[in-house]
A and B are shown apart, each in its own frame.
Chain A
């Protein structure tokens, strides 16, 4: 008797889509086919979300944390980390429960930096000059650049990361970011452009 064991490995779902607008696609992995996203869709570990022009998607992780992916962005989402490879996203990360005496930090990575967070709300964006920007609305974020410099970014502060990470300071342009994760399209859409980061009001010369 031959026993055929058919094992159906079903990836564990780590969250679902709370809100979606415009062209939003997701892939279960790098090599899988992209499918369009709708509200209520469950997604598994290491799913890749991609948004087009004018698009927006809000993801709710099973941990209670939320991620808002802005237009023209790409984000790889897993249970304990995200990788931003294009555009910008907002993160609202709840303090996770202590597990086996280890406190879990959610990590967000770009090609310039790794950010460790626990109980915080922050924004990350890839810039136009081979750099990344990050600012914190609530809580504390540890940012480590590729040259191993580490800074702690507090509420109301932001940093730019390129070859190294800048010292945290208030960034006037981030005051206009829309941090809302829940609501209708008008209430949650963020219209602040990363180009505004390069328009530091105190740095801009007019004469």
Chain B
């Protein structure tokens, strides 16, 4: 009898706890559409305009516009600075009690990010027409003052047909490392893989798949009313379409 009561008490505690923390999100299969346009000012300077629509879950999406300036400082190195206008992104601190614990509706919330990056590219000698790239980015959110670093190694192979570039295959791995938020050292990890087709010198459409895993960690509001913490998984599988335009 005592065992049954203890077990029932345990179950009720688990249920109460579960209602107070974000639900685990797993294997959402969602969609993304990206447009990137590149304008070469000089042989060394490029302006980049990006639009991104990311259907993150059935009831949530993120939209962004980015403007970036890139400068090639060396055959293998580029540096860049950018600003992004972002709408709809969710963060740890959006887990609030209103009146029950739930995610705040961030669909119409806009914010501005600024970032700087450096990328290194090298031709891979043992794989013809292939490039290794490592990009390091530091990003700051002006709304919530979040800072994080993004480390992204990648591989691209360009397939040629009779001397003309035909199609690229690429693979990238991305780590998002918060520097002043989150209880986790790595808040998100993503892998991207896809193909870009050299339709013409100006237009290069592509398709890609990305898989990501991240953690929702204790929100400010939760930590003010609880002594425990949480760390909940969220996983995504995304099918995407991209379009690169070279002006």
Contacts and interface: CB of A to CB of B under 8 A. Distances in A.
A176 B168 contact: no
Contact of B48 (A195, A201, A205): A205
The A contact surface, by secondary structure, is loop
Given A176-B160, A191-B162, A193-B164, A201 B75 contact: no
B72 A203 contact: yes
B48 to A, nearest CB: 7
The B contact surface, by secondary structure, is strand
A79 B32 CA distance: 62
A60 B46 CA distance: 44
B201 A195 contact: yes
Nearest to B242: A207
A202 B75 CA distance: 7
Contacts, number: 45
Interface residues of A, number: 16
Nearest to B196: A206
Interface string B22-40: 0000000000001010100
A206 B244 contact: yes
Given A172-B123, A196-B164, A206-B156, A201 B129 contact: yes
Given A172-B123, A193-B163, A206-B156, 17 more contacts: A176-B160, A190-B163, A191-B162, A191-B163, A192-B163, A199-B165, A202-B75, A202-B76, A202-B121, A202-B123, A202-B131, A205-B36, A206-B168, A206-B170, A207-B34, A207-B50, A207-B242
12 contacts: A169-B75, A172-B123, A191-B162, A195-B201, A199-B165, A202-B75, A202-B76, A202-B121, A202-B131, A203-B72, A205-B38, A206-B204
